[in-house]
Amino acid sequence: MSKSAYETKRDFSRTPEPRGGRKRAGKAPRFVIQKHDASTLHYDFRLEVGSVLKSWAVPRGPSTDPADKRLAVPTEDHPLDYADFEGVIPEGQYGGGTVLVWDCGPYENITEKHGRIVPLAKALADGHALVRLKGEKLTGGYALQRTGKKENGRWLLVKLDDAAADRRRNPVSTQPDSVLSGRSLQDIAAGEAKG
């Protein structure tokens, strides 16, 4: 079996990131948003689809305001094991820098066409997907919409205008730390556990 883009970009003798390979058959699919202090701070938005995490880098992070259209740049599929990774990726490794799990939880595919659910892999291939998140910080519907040409298209991540929409919340700034460990990026970079 040939190496994935994820594997090709990493030296697993040097990075603490997981190699992957684990399957999670039979469980509700999960989403994870990892805050990543690389050369520039961004939020990696990942959805479990089949045996991989489909991934986008969101420079400004997700919003709870339906009026905000957040740029989401596709990145390579990550292994399912990546969903609970927090740590420090060495300099020189792809995407080096400090990572924390900013939010995670199950999600539901709510993409419909003619009254029927469209499988998420197909929805993403078509460039339009709707998901309902059940995280700690983010809940309710989000749209992922590709703009421009398929090959080098950018995507937008936009909150749906539902009961969980909130124009006044700003969780990216008010809830900055890990939902798994309570640690900040600085705590993780310093190798300290909080509390």
Residues at the site binding Mn ion, with contacts judged by CB under 5 A: 36, 44, 95
CB 80 within 8 A of CB 48: yes
Looking at the Cβ atoms of 36 and 137, the one nearer to Mn ion is: 36
- Please report, as a single letter, which amino acid is at residue 22: R
- Closest-approach residue to Mn ion (CB): 36
Whole-angstrom distance, CA of residue 175 vs CA of residue 35: 12
Query: Which residue, chain included where needed, has tokens 């020189």?
Result: 92
Q: Give the shortest CB-40-to-Mn ion separation in angstroms.
A: 10
Looking at the Cβ atoms of 36 and 183, the one nearer to Mn ion is: 36
Q: Give the shortest CB-55-to-Mn ion separation in angstroms.
A: 8
Q: Give the shortest CB-99-to-Mn ion separation in angstroms.
A: 7
Looking at the Cβ atoms of 101 and 130, the one nearer to Mn ion is: 101
Looking at the Cβ atoms of 95 and 171, the one nearer to Mn ion is: 95
Whole-angstrom distance, CA of residue 111 vs CA of residue 114: 10
Tokens linked to 143: 């749209």
Q: Give the shortest CB-70-to-Mn ion separation in angstroms.
A: 15
Tokens linked to 120: 């998420």
